[in-house]
């Protein structure tokens, strides 16, 4: 889940409701679609990663990044 506090990233654009982007893999995971940050409004964003195991345990991590119009074009 990626958001700027108001909008949430979906596979086909932004939404006002949170949703999860599906990654693939078991030990190592990946999200195959490159996210073009050129379409993001400038500002701070939060990426939330959530994982489940077969016993029902859930792990969650957060990371923040800032898009200021220069530098990163893909995340």
Classify residue 14 as left (phi > 0), alpha (psi -120 to 50) or beta.
beta
In a domain, 75, yes or no: no
Question: What's CA 58's distance to the chain center, in Å?
Answer: 17
Domain that holds residue 21: 2-67
One-letter-per-residue 3-state SS of 35-58: CEHHHCCCEEEEEEEEEECCCCCE
Q: For residue 23, is pLDDT > 70?
A: yes
Contact 14, 2 (CB under 8 A): no
Q: Which tens digits make up the pLDDT trace of 26-63? A: 777 776 666 666 667 777 778 888 888 889 899 988 88
Element (H, E) at 15: strand 13-15
| Total domains present in the chain | 1
In a domain, 35, yes or no: yes
In a domain, 14, yes or no: yes
pTM higher than the cut 0.75: no
């Amino acid at each position: 889940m990626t958001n700027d506090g108001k909008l949430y990233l979906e596979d086909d654009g932004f939404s006002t409701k949170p949703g999860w982007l599906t990654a693939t893999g078991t030990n190592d995971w990946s999200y195959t679609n490159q996210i073009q940050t050129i379409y993001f409004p400038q500002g701070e964003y939060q990426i939330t990663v959530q994982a489940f195991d077969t016993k029902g345990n859930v792990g969650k991590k957060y990371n923040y990044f800032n898009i200021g119009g220069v530098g990163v074009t893909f995340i």
